[in-house]
């Protein structure tokens, strides 16, 4: 099956946003064994969009569009596709009800232009949008399959997983299967060095490293006629990677580091409290992103001022004055203090200099002390990061979660 993707949006052609949908869809199609032959991007212009849709339909059996399904006048994808196929647009009742319900629940007035979002080409099928108002659309036309998806990645991605992927699985032949091993605590080149022999001379399955904020991903991809064979190829390669890098692998595919930590705490029926300074609440934020976190996360304190460190964590002003707020002693007392006050099994303390200001020769921007207190465990780590403020925050919380993960796995 040959596919093409058309991304619609003037903001893309002006370079105002990165087309992450195109990358996402490309990967998904590859993993389904569907050959992607071309991606095109056009603006919110009916003539040029029409030309792109016609060309793609002439070449490919599957055409996926993203963007242009919203309520405003420059949202034209659906209208254009219907026009190319010679179909009229008719209201889809479940979609209309969903949109009405959406506005009612938000307590907002549903404006007239929102009715447009519930229109779909006759004979087409609406795909529910659980994260927004514009439904997706599937239309079959002369052996061709046209799928229109909304532009916001938050809406497009779950819609693809929930509705599009199952449809495409039944259409495609052969499989390309991917699996992602996620690692932390090692840089990309260190990971690449450990698996250098596997990276050289690879054909099927393939192995590709990819670095992203504080973690490294190894993507394993296998091609096969049937799923079982693809799975076997990936299992064999994964076993070889685990022999060398087992400890650093924290998850396979979707699971995030914070999900792993919440899962391990839940399994152990243990609870956590965190005291953050330079990470500014990001650690608490990441943990509370996990559904069910409330069962294991008691509290967080973001003690930005010294007074907050004294009042909320009981750290003596004299210690802060003597050692400095960014010191192993203060990190240790933060972890100990928040653990004691909340009576949890685990406490984390983080203090450092996120920059861009505040650094000195002795204590430069990027210097962070990370402390972990737990049952029979008392650790302090010195971390030294480079990069901008938000990256330092991100990497620090990654290190904190990884330290806790490794301790939780020990017993």
Rounded to the nearest whole angstrom, what is the least distance from the CB of residue 123 to its own copies in the complex? Answer: 27
Length reported for the chain: 411
Neighbours of 131 (CB within 10 A): 14
CB of 285 to its own copies, least distance (A): 4
CA torsion 78-83-86-87 (nearest 10°) is 30
Residue 193 or 255 with smaller CB distance to its own copies: 193
**Nearest approach, Cβ of 103 to its own copies (angstroms)?**
9
- In the chain, the N- to C-terminal Cα span, in Å, equals 49
80, 54 Cβ separation under 8 angstroms: no
Closer of 16 and 170 to its own copies (Cβ): 16
Q: Shortest gap between Cβ of 143 and its own copies (angstroms)? A: 21
CB 173, min distance to its own copies, A: 18
- Return the number of the residue (139 or 164) whose C-beta is nearest its own copies: 164
Please state, in angstroms and as integers, the Cα–Cα distance from residue 41 to each residue in 18, 47, 228, following that order.
Answer: 12, 13, 36
Closest approach, Cβ 101 to its own copies, in A, equals: 9
Nearer to its own copies, 88 or 305 (CB): 305
User: Residue 36 or residue 148: which is nearer to its own copies going by CB?
Assistant: 36
- Residue 322: exposure state from Cβ atoms within 10 A (0-12, 13-18, ≥19): exposed
DSSP 8-state secondary structure symbol assigned to residue 198: H
Torsional class of 360: left (φ above 0), alpha (ψ -120 to 50), beta (otherwise) = beta
Question: Of the two residues 146 and 262, which places its CB atom closer to its own copies in the complex?
Answer: 262
Closest separation in Å from C-beta 406 to its own copies: 18
DSSP character at residue 326: S
Q: How many CB atoms lie within 10 A of CB 180?
A: 16
Question: Is 139 or 238 the residue whose CB approaches its own copies more closely?
Answer: 238
Helix (H) or strand (E) holding 80: helix 77-85
Q: Which residue in 274, 318, 264, 319 sits closest to 297, CA to CA?
A: 274
Whole-Å CA distances, 206 to 25, 118, 186, 234, 238? 20, 43, 21, 9, 11
Q: Which is nearer to its own copies, 87 or 312 (CB)?
A: 312
Q: How far is the CB of 411 from its own copies (least distance, A)?
A: 24
């Amino acid at each position: 099956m040959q596919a093409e993707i058309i991304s619609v949006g003037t903001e893309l052609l002006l370079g105002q946003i990165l087309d992450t949908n195109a990358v996402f869809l490309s990967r998904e199609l590859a993993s389904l064994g569907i050959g992607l032959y071309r991606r095109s991007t056009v603006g919110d212009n009916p003539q040029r969009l029409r030309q792109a849709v016609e060309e793609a339909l002439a070449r490919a059996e599957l055409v996926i569009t993203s963007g242009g399904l919203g309520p405003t006048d420059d949202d034209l994808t659906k209208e254009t596709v219907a026009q190319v196929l010679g179909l009229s647009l008719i209201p889809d009742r479940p979609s209309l009800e969903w949109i009405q319900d959406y506005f009612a629940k938000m307590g907002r007035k549903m404006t007239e232009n929102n009715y447009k979002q519930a229109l779909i080409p006759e004979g087409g099928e609406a795909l529910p949008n659980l994260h927004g108002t514009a439904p997706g659309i599937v239309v079959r036309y002369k052996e061709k399959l046209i799928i229109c998806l909304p532009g916001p990645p938050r809406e497009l991605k779950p819609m693809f997983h929930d509705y599009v992927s199952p449809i495409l699985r039944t259409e495609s032949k052969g499989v390309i299967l991917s699996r992602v091993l996620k690692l932390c605590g090692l840089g990309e080149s260190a990971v690449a060095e450990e698996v250098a022999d596997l990276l050289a001379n690879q054909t099927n399955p393939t192995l590709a490293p990819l670095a992203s904020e504080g973690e490294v991903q190894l993507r394993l991809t296998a091609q096969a006629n049937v799923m079982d064979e693809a799975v076997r190829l990936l299992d064999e390669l994964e076993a070889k990677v685990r022999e060398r890098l087992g400890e650093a692998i924290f998850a396979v595919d979707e699971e995030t580091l914070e999900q792993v930590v919440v899962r391990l705490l839940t399994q152990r029926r243990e609870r956590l409290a965190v005291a953050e300074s330079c990470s500014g609440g990001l650690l608490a934020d990441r943990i509370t992103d996990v559904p069910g976190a409330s069962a294991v996360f008691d509290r967080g304190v973001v003690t930005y001022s010294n007074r907050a460190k004294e009042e909320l964590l009981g750290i003596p002003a004299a210690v802060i004055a003597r050692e400095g707020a960014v010191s192993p002693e203060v990190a240790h007392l933060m972890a100990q203090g928040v653990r004691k006050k909340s009576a949890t099994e685990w406490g984390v303390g983080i203090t450092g200099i996120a920059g861009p200001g505040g650094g000195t020769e002795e204590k430069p921007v990027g210097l962070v002390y990370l402390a972990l207190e737990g049952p029979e465990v008392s650790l302090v780590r010195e971390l030294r990061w480079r990069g901008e403020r938000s990256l330092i925050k991100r990497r620090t919380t990654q290190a904190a979660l990884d330290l806790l993960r490794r301790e939780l796995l020990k017993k």
